[in-house]
Structure formats: C-alpha cells, structure tokens
Amino acid sequence: MKQRARRKEAEQRADLSALETRLAHASRVNAMGEMASGMAHELAQPLTAILSQAQAGRHLVRRGDVEGLARVLDDTVAQAQRGADILERLQRWSRPNRDLAQACSLNDAALRVKRLLGREAQAKGAVVTLDLPNTLLQVKADPVELEQVIFNLVRNALDAADRARVLLRARRVGDRAVLEVSDDGPGVPADIRERVFEPFVTGKKDGTGLGLALCQRLVEEMGGDMELVSGTAHTTFRLSLPIAVS
Amino acid sequence: MSRTVYLVDDDETVRSALTLLLETVGVTVKSFASPEAFLTQAANLPPGCLILDIRMPAISGLKLQEKLSAQGIFWPTVIISGHGDIEACRRAFRNGAIDYLRKPVDEQDLIDAIQKGQAELEACQQRAAERAEAQALVSALSPRESEVLEMIAKGVTTKQIAHALGLSPRTVESHRAAIAAKAGTTSTAELTRFWLEAQGDP
C-alpha cells in the first residue's frame, strides 16, 4: 500500500517535471516568436523610410533637383543608422560582454549618468536629484554596462513626463547595493506592468521595448536583479546588485 | 491622381518618407500621426484613398477600418504591415481593403494600389451622381406620372397602363410625354434606367 503510494507520487512528480519542461519550452518558443515579430516590425520602419526616400531620390535625380536629393540622403543616412542601432541593441541583448567586469562605484556611475543626461533634462525642464551615501558602494560590473542600465532608467524617467522630477537614491542593504530611480510621471500603464521587462513591450509611443529588457539581462549577468516597485506614489525601478568583495 | 491620399502611420519618419515619395510623383498626401486624429477629422474630409499602418498603439489599422465603416465611411483602403500575418491580412480584406502591402512598401505597388483605389472612388461617385440625378427627376414627377413611370419600367404597355389605372390611353400618352419632357428622353430603356436608379440598390 505504502509502496504503491510512493510509486504514484514519483510518477506524478515525473509528469509534473515533464510538464514544466514543456511549458518552459513553449514559453521560450513563444518569446522567440514575439521577438521575431517585434524585430520584424522594428526593422520594417526604418527600411520603409529608406526605400521610400531612395525611390523619391531617384525621381529627384531625374529632375536634377540636387538640393532636394541632398536633404533626402541625410534622412536616409539617419534611418540606416536607426536600423543599425536596433541591430546593435539586439546583438548586445543576445550576448552581453562578461569580460570587462570589475569592481566599480555605483555612486560614480549615477553621477556620470546625471552629467550625460544633464542637457536633455534641462531641455525638458526636468530636475534630476541624487541621494547617494557617503560611503563607497562597489559592485562587480562592466562600468559601461552599469552606466547603460542606469542611463536607460533615468532616460525612461525623463521621458515619462515633461518637467519630471527624477530621484536616484542609492544605499547599502546587507550585502547588496540598491539603487532606486523614481519619477513623478503618470506611471507604467497597468496593462504592461507585469511584462515591462519583456522584449518589445513598451509604454512609449516610439519605444522599441528593448531598453528595459536589455537592462534586466545585463543586471542578471551582474548577479543582481531589477524590479518595478509596486504600491508607491512615484514610478520606481529598483536595482539590486551584490557588493563587490575586494 | 488628383484626389488627396490619407496616410495614417504613428512612425514620423515612415510618414514623412512615404509622403515625400508620393508627393514626388504628384500625389497630394495628408498624413495623420494617429488613428484618433484621423477619426476626429474624417467626417469633414473629402473622400480619398486611405493608407493605414496595421500596428499602431491604442487603435490598430484594422480597428480604424472598422470604426470608419461604423461611421459610414467606405473609402478605398490600403493596409501596410511590417509583418505578413495571414490572419490580419484576411481581416483587412474582410473589412473591404483593396490591397495589403508588406513594409518596406515598393513604390510601384503602392502607386498601383492608390490608382486602383482612386478608380474605385471615381466609379462610386459616378454612381452616386447618377442616382442623385435620377432621384431628382423622379421627385419632380407628379404622383400620377410617378405611377406611370413605375409601370413603364416594369415593361407594361400603354394600353395595359390605361386599363390598370382606369385612364384613357390618350391620357397615359400625355403623362408619358410629360415624363419624357422632364427626363429629356423618350427612350423607354433610359426611362427604365432612371426609375431603377432612383430606387437605389436592388
């Protein structure tokens, strides 16, 4: 009797794990399908612009309208660049660079991002405030990638609203360095909150939906995690990274 | 290609590049950044061929097609899409699209589709004008003349009309002459066409 129960339990466990494997596979296939469809759409936009501009350019050449053609060519170059940027982001997404990890300062990264986005913040009438601890917070990461992650979060915060108030707050919690980026914008739309880190999910009008997906992937590679904090008045993304042991 | 083409695409560069291309070949384009912007203005715009991107936030091109139909706007529509989704394609055609083009859209395919749409629009307006003319004629007839015309259109002879309406054949002839004067034709075939057109779709 006991033996039969055990056997049954083992069978159920096997069934369950087979189901999990199938589910995991299905969700990977699904994610890839969505990725492919999203990528097709993203790349189709600049390609459409490039094709139309080139065909319009052909008409302009026949007419000898050199000035018009020059303007069209400038736009074409910009669109080709847009396509290249999408590809580059996808490539980084598929294989982040792990060789360049080193102990680097979270405070410094936050300061650099504030400086990098200073002009943009000013243009939008936004205020970026830093709330950093006096102690050094060292994390193990490629400094460029760390900066890229913070840059993405702050850029999103700036895009959330005109005259946004953005706060970057860093502190040590146990053996983790935690950085929160919050803004007083309208918040992440409810229908995408759950999926905000999935590729091609975006709340922005011209967003590619790759920024946060890439950030999360980079942060995972750094051994950290990232979340959209719920239940707060402000939109807050929390980044948590292991403190580097020197 | 004298009529305005309406382009709805949320991507600004796609919008301006397609507008540039079409204007270079002499097509007048009015573009809209969102389906909502187009919907609020559609009722006040002269009819034209529509080019709709399928994938836009909030309202997709397909949804826009359906909303326009609900407003009684049935302009020739070309759907453009970044990915060839068969289900979306089928739905677009079910909603009455005249063509479904993959992005990047080739110039010649787009121009062919627009020409087809404009020809359809011309034919449609021609039919509407003819119907309006026929309706104006029929409403100018007296009730009796109208009765007589209806019977002419059914192929009934003067004698039978006279009998059916309890009139003399001469009176029927004079009604017929009055109808012919108003219609500007004595041809039975033409008069029949006027009557049928004034009745609208069979």
Structure tokens at B95: 């909603």
Is pLDDT at B202 greater than 50 in this prediction?
A: no
Least confident of A33-42, A217-226, A236-245: A33-42
Choose from A43, A48, A206, A208 for mutation: most chain B CBs within 10 A.
A48
Annotate chain B with DSSP letters as a single string: --S-EEEE-S-HHHHHHHHHHHHHTT--EEEESSHHHHHHHHTTSPP-EEEEES--SSS-HHHHHHHHHHTT----EEEEESS--HHHHHHHHHTT-SEEEESSPPHHHHHHHHHHHHHHHHHHHHHHHHHHHHHHHHHHS-HHHHHHHHHHHTT--HHHHHHHHT--HHHHHHHHHHHHHHHT---HHHHHHHHHHHT---
Is pLDDT at A170 greater than 90 in this prediction?
A: yes
Domain boundaries, chain B: 5-127, 141-198
| Cβ contact, residue pair B105, A51, below 8 Å | yes
Burial of A213 from C-beta contacts in 10 A (0-12 / 13-18 / 19+): buried
Is pLDDT at A236 greater than 90 in this prediction?
A: yes
Burial of A168 from C-beta contacts in 10 A (0-12 / 13-18 / 19+): buried
**Do residues B59 and B89 make contact, with C-beta atoms less than 8 angstroms apart?**
no
| Chain A residues touching B100 at Cβ < 8 A | none
| Chain A residues touching B21 at Cβ < 8 A | 52-53, 55-56
pLDDT at A120: 83
Structure tokens at B112: 């062919």
| Cβ contact, residue pair B104, A79, below 8 Å | no
Q: Give Cα B6 to chain centroid, integer Å.
A: 16
Within 10 angstroms of residue A28's Cβ, the number of other Cβ atoms is: 10
Q: How far is residue A183's CA from residue A168's CA, in Å, rounded to a whole number?
A: 9
| Chain B residues touching A50 at Cβ < 8 A | 17, 104
> Which residue among A44, A52, A78 places its CB closest to the CB of B21?
A52
Choose from A35, A39, A55, A206 for mutation: most chain B CBs within 10 A.
A55
CATH of B5-127 given 3.40.50.2300, 3.40.630.30, 3.20.20.10, 3.40.630.10: 3.40.50.2300
A22 CB-side CA count, 13 A: 6
Q: Under CATH, which architecture does the A2-94 domain have?
A: Orthogonal Bundle (1.10)
User: Nearest C-alpha of chain B: how many angstroms from A72?
Assistant: 9
**Measured distance between the N- and C-terminal CA atoms of chain B, rounded to whole angstroms:** 32
Going by CATH, does the domain composed of A102-242 fall within 3.30.565.10?
Answer: yes
Q: How far is residue A178's CA from residue A166's CA, in Å, rounded to a whole number?
A: 16
Average pLDDT, integer, range B185-202: 82
Note the pLDDT tens digit of each residue in A95-150: 655 566 788 999 999 998 898 888 889 888 999 999 999 888 999 888 888 888 99
Q: Under CATH, which architecture does the B141-198 domain have?
A: Orthogonal Bundle (1.10)
Sheet strand arrangement including B77-81: B29-32, B5-8, B49-53, B77-81, B99-102
A25 vs A63, residue with greater confidence: A63
Domain boundaries, chain A: 2-94, 102-242
> Which residue among B17, B57, B102 places its CB closest to the CB of A53?
B17
B198 vs A208, residue with greater confidence: B198
Find all residues with CB under 8 Å of B162, minimum gap 6, and list them.
B168, B169, B171, B172
Check if B104 contacts A (Cβ < 8 Å): yes
Q: Which of residues 206-235 of A touch B (CB under 8 A)?
A: 206
Burial of B35 from C-beta contacts in 10 A (0-12 / 13-18 / 19+): buried
**Do residues A204 and A213 make contact, with C-beta atoms less than 8 angstroms apart?**
no
